[in-house]
Structure 1
């Protein structure tokens, strides 16, 4: 015990030091990366009051302010910046320890956690589980479904072994990326009384009342860039972070949407929605396979790599003429 420290303060100090837990660190990293408690609560799937309580308890434990609240969200204090760096390292170390101990204990199965966007999950999600069981039986596959920017943030937190994501056109520290193919977005609209033309112009597509995901979503960013480039009006009248909610609004006939084919694949097959390709200047996005740059190899790495290649082939088959391999 330090000289002069009262003996009765020791239990209190030990309680403070033991109070930090991994959940608080994960929550703190999630808030820091999006800069907004409300958005972080949605991404972490936790109630906002509970999330705020955990952060306040963390600040009380550390006896310092970690986040500065303002009208648009939060920013990190100097102490918060330091904790963010250390928290990421701690969470990665915990994940590495879990994996290494399981391997040392002789557990034959390694966990492969892959992130997929909603459109990819709808197209081939069940097939991937079957392919993984047949192709890499020594690996337990876990699929995480989120929008691309959420998957990228999860990758940076060390929560994913790999992800198939869009919007990784610029290098990101600590992430390896491989461009797979370019995908054309389409106009999804309500069923009409008569047959619809197979294609529309970009101007015609953007003239509809549209429902799109939020401003951070890549599709909305592409539409805004296209509208600005060609001086076209853009009528986004609804925003919804929920893909099912977007589809439901289109089915009801109150809006259309520019989205990936896979996002509406079930309704298109069932005849509940109609699709039109955009003939001139169709918005496009590139799919990337992203992985942590410093991740250790799997024991069955060659089989895992073959599995990733099969994912790409499944998607290309599903998209048909809407996709083109990078470099082809």
Structure 2
């Protein structure tokens, strides 16, 4: 049993499904299944119960999952401490960021950290918000810049800004005109998968009104959603910054959603289960400075929040 097999096993248990775990790990399902079976053969005990809905750990599997998390965390902490020994002042930080934010602010963040914090080696990981939260729990990243991080004791959060979502449509006569949320629900929508913060916010708001989303296309890729909208196949609910260029070019329209506004909070978050970082304050300042251009572009759809929460 090796470290890769431990990582594979942890992902299978947390995904609860071999197919989903294989997709997240970017490996073939057959290869993943062989790795899990090899662990079971090495230990001489069944670790998973397989059923029609997916998989569940046995008592032995639950024990291995807990021990594997501890082992992997210790290895990551050891790696970081050893790397820090190379130069006493140096510090390696892994920052998770969403794909849409990466496009509009990721490069600026990397440049700002390089300029203001030359002692920091910044590694950037790109994933959807809900995936980043899970990665932070597992210790795979040190900080995450993403939306709606849950208010839990294990997280330390800095609220950076709130932004209002928009209804994205093909260009039309009501260019840029606000639209009531209930009217937006009449649209055939291309939306992200379940668990995505945009989908969750829109679904929860609709449910509170006794309504539901009319999701015709479920796609993970923002670019795919925008292509569906530009072809007239659907509308979409997205953050404004993900369609700024298309709106400026006149290929898409973005209508602010009102009554109620769909407002999300962007956090820079870390795990309280990790040791303190010497450059945490500097990283927070660099990220805030890097987001100034985004605030300017969002205009009245943005609401800066420079308040520390925990």
Higher alpha-carbon Rg = 1
For the 8 Å contact 1:187–1:205, the answer to whether it is kept is yes
Structure 1 residues 1-328: aligned runs within 5 Å: 20-106=1-87, 109-171=90-152, 174-192=154-172, 194=173, 196-326=175-305
Aligned residues: 307
Partner SS, residue 62 of structure 2: helix
Q: Deviations over 1:268-315 (max 9, x none)?
A: 333321100012202222222210213233344443342243345454
Which stretch of structure 1 is more off in the superposition, 145-154 or 197-206? 197-206
1:326 Cα offset (Å): 4.3
Determine the C-alpha separation between the residues in 2 that align with 1:287 and 1:161: 17
Show structure 2 runs of 5+ residues with no match.
none
Q: Kindly tell me: are residues 105 and 225 of structure 1, through their superposed partners in 2, closer, same or farther at Cα, counting changes over 3 Å?
A: closer
Work out whether residues 67 and 76 of structure 1, in 8 Å CA contact, stay in contact via their aligned partners in 2.
yes
Q: CA deviation at 1:197?
A: 4.9
Q: Secondary structure at the match of 2:4?
A: helix
| Alpha-carbon spacing, 1:121–1:97, altered in 2? closer, same or farther (3 Å) | same
1:54 & 1:240 partners in 2: Cα distance? 30
**Distance (whole Å) between structure 2 residues aligned to residue 96 and residue 274 of structure 1:** 47
Shift of 1:124: 0.7
> 1:82 offset after TM fit, Å?
1.2
CA deviations 1:38-89 (Å, max 9, x no partner) are 2222322333222222222222222222222222222222112111211111
Residues 254 and 39 (structure 1 numbering): CA distance in 2 closer, same or farther, change over 3 Å? same
Return the TM-score normalized by structure 2: 0.90
1:15 corresponds to which residue? none
Structure 1 length-normalised TM? 0.85
Two-structure CA RMSD over aligned residues (Å): 2.3
My pick for the range that moved more, 50-59 or 205-214, is 50-59
Is the contact between residue 268 and residue 284 of structure 2 (CA under 8 Å) also seen in structure 1?
no
User: C-alpha distance in 1, partners of 2:39/2:21?
Assistant: 16
The answer to whether the 8 A contact 2:187-2:235 is kept is yes
